[in-house]
Structures are given as C-alpha cells and as structure tokens.
Amino acid sequence: MMSKTHIAVGVASALAIAHTGSVGSFVAAVVGGSIGGIIADCDITPSRAHKDALIGRLLVVGIAVVALALDYYYSAGVCDFIVGNLGMRTIMGVALFTALTFVGGHTDHRTFTHSLVAMAAFCGAIYLICQPLLPYFAIGYASHLVLDITNHQSIRLFWPARIEASLGLCRAKGTVNSIMLVVGLVACVLLAAYRLAPLASSAVGAF
C-alpha cells in the first residue's frame, strides 16, 4: 500500500485502542500510530521514482511535530515523560532505532522490515525511548504488515525464514489502496472526535 494509506490506517488503529478523554493518550496514539504505520517502509529509499516514500516521511514528521506541540501546550504527559526519562535507556533506544532503520534501508523491500522479528526489535527500541507510545506504535506496525500482506507482492513476514506471505487480493497502488485510504481517514476523524468529545463537553461545562 502507499504511504498515506499506511499512515491513515496506522493512526486509526492506534486511536481505536486509545483512552477516551485523555489528550496524552490521543497524542501518543497519533505519534505512535503514524510512525508505526510507516516505519516498515524504511526499506524504500526516497527518490524521484519513490516520491511516495518521501511524502510519507514528511507527513509523519509534520504529524508528530503538531501532536507533540499539542501535548506540550496542554501538558498532556508525552513530552514530560520523554524529558523526565532522558538517560542511558533513551540513548540505547535511539541507537537501536537508528541501527534498525539503517539496516532496513540496506535490505530489499518487503523483506526484513516487513517481518515479525523487525516489528519486535522496533517495538523494543520504542519501549526504551518512550514507553507510552509502545502499544500505539505496535498496532500501527501490525496494521502495515496486514495491509501489505493483502497485496499480490509478498512480504517476508517470518524472516529469516524464506516463506513468502501474500493473500494476493490487490495491488499496492490500485483501487483497494484508495478505498483503504478513505476508510482510514474517515475512521481517524470519527475516532478522534469520539476520543476527544468528553474534553470538549467538560470545557463547555466549565463556562
């Protein structure tokens, strides 16, 4: 599937398990779900031929910056957690995350990074960097693998085993991708409204 679809479905999946009425949980879901939704495609080098990879990465950076600014403004907890827990553990997490993306960038598309082994390793890195993001990152990553496994082009889900996993239902750039993008975006809007509704009503009630 294409980057925007992975991001939309990743965030929607994360919002589905987020807590209602918590800005911190909302921010963690948006940041974790968007990064988890797209990180498996770090095995694509952005170029003229792969503009989608570049657009996806810029989108995720933009989404994460806006969400973390919201968190900072409302003192919702994610920024405070990261700053309050800075230390050797964070350095190890960032080093592991960087190493995994580096290795991923030097492997063939849909192999190592599209495996359960890589998903577990990336989740370990996120656990060390910012534990509250972990469940949202994990479900975003899982949504990526589920979407890609529906394609004709297989993924190496059980890497290093040479088992090709594919349901062969659709193409990565076809109609199903467009449908999933719309479904993901609509789900994001509805779930965001549902998760944040109690905050809006309590704010109204305060005046």
User: Contact between 43 and Zn ion (CB under 5 A)?
Assistant: no
Indicate the residue among 25 and 115 with the shorter CB distance to Zn ion. Answer: 115
- For the beta carbon of residue 128, count every other beta carbon within 10 angstroms: 20
DSSP state of 70: H
Indicate the residue among 40 and 121 with the shorter CB distance to Zn ion. Answer: 40
* Axis-axis angle for helices 134-149, 116-129 (nearest 10): 160
Indicate the residue among 83 and 146 with the shorter CB distance to Zn ion. Answer: 146
Indicate the residue among 18 and 40 with the shorter CB distance to Zn ion. Answer: 40
Which residue stretch of 34-42, 69-77, 90-98, 195-203 sits at the interface with Zn ion (rule: CB under 5 A)?
34-42
92-111 residues near Zn ion, rule: CB under 5 A: none
Which residues are 63's β-sheet partners? none
Residue with token string 């570049």: 54
Residue with token string 């190493």: 99
How big is the chain, counted in residues? 207
CB of 49 to Zn ion, least distance (A): 16
> What is the residue type of 101?
T
Q: Report which of 18, 5, 7, 74 is spatially closest to residue 192, judged by C-alpha positions.
A: 18
Which residue stretch of 45-53, 97-105, 141-149, 195-203 sits at the interface with Zn ion (rule: CB under 5 A)?
141-149
User: Contact between 148 and Zn ion (CB under 5 A)?
Assistant: yes
Q: List the structure tokens of 8.
A: 């939309």
Q: 109 near 43, Cβ under 8 Å?
A: yes
CB of 16 to Zn ion, least distance (A): 20
Indicate the residue among 38 and 125 with the shorter CB distance to Zn ion. Answer: 38
CB of 114 to Zn ion, least distance (A): 6
Indicate the residue among 23 and 147 with the shorter CB distance to Zn ion. Answer: 147
Please give the size of the binding site for Zn ion, defined by CB under 5 A: 3
Q: Report which of 142, 24, 140 is spatially closest to residue 82, judged by C-alpha positions.
A: 24
User: Contact between 41 and Zn ion (CB under 5 A)?
Assistant: yes
Residues at the site binding Zn ion, with contacts judged by CB under 5 A:
40-41, 148
